[in-house]
């Protein structure tokens, strides 16, 4: 795992808790954050695969993340699709630590399928996606903060935090469309 300072880890944990518990209430801002991460991550992966020694890869990844989040703020259904697909794909890839092309492609395919379903059920999937995205940050950076082994703690923290976030959001977002 990457090295982060204690403050960066705590900020990531705080964002994770906020997304997990209040993501749907602030869905546009949550989508902006998550789409930034999507653009940043995909660009970083692509640049690393194509040009691993590219000097400005971090800057380009940030720029693409900003563009993705700016576009996502305007296009809500596409945003919901992208967030759901990203959350499912990266969670599967990171949980099972896939490194080969076929399992990664299958995980991305599962993400695309869930993304298509998410567009049909916007509110429930908005709640589930923001809660799970926040739970994923909590699990990932909680493991970094406390120096825990990756599996099975990641899955346990992800499931517990995700369930709490989903239940909390469904209870507190009944009146929000």
**pLDDT by residue (tens digit) across 45-76?**
888 888 888 788 888 989 999 998 888 767 77
Summarize the confidence of residues 36-40 as an average pLDDT: 85
pLDDT of 163 strictly over 90: yes
Which pTM does this prediction carry? 0.64
- Give the C-alpha distances (Å, rounded to integers) separating 159 from 28, 67, 138, 164, 174: 24, 31, 11, 9, 22
How many domains are contained in the chain?
1
Tokens of 160: 């517990």
Q: Under 8 Å CB-to-CB from 56, ≥6 apart: which residues? A: none
Task: Determine the structural domain holding residue 73 and report its residue range.
Answer: 6-172
Residue 1 within any structural domain of the chain: no
Residue 38 CA to residue 87 CA, distance in Å, equals: 9
Residue 177 within any structural domain of the chain: no
Residue 137 within any structural domain of the chain: yes
Residue 27 within any structural domain of the chain: yes
pLDDT of residue 147: 63
């Amino acid at each position: 795992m990457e090295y982060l300072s204690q403050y960066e880890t705590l900020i990531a944990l705080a964002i994770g808790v906020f997304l997990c518990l209040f993501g749907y209430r602030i869905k546009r801002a949550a989508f902006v954050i998550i789409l930034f991460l999507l653009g940043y991550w995909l660009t970083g992966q692509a640049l690393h695969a194509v040009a691993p020694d590219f000097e400005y890869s971090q800057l380009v990844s940030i720029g693409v993340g900003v563009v993705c989040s700016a576009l996502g703020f305007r296009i809500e259904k596409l945003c919901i699709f992208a967030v759901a697909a990203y959350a499912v794909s990266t969670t599967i890839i990171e949980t099972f630590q896939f490194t080969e092309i076929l399992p990664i492609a299958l995980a991305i395919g599962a993400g695309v399928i869930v993304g298509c379903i998410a567009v049909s059920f916007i509110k429930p999937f908005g709640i589930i996606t923001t809660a799970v995205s926040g739970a994923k940050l909590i699990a990932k950076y909680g493991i970094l903060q406390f120096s825990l082994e990756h599996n099975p703690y990641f899955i346990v923290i992800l499931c517990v935090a995700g369930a709490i976030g989903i239940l909390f959001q469904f209870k507190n977002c009944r009146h929000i469309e």
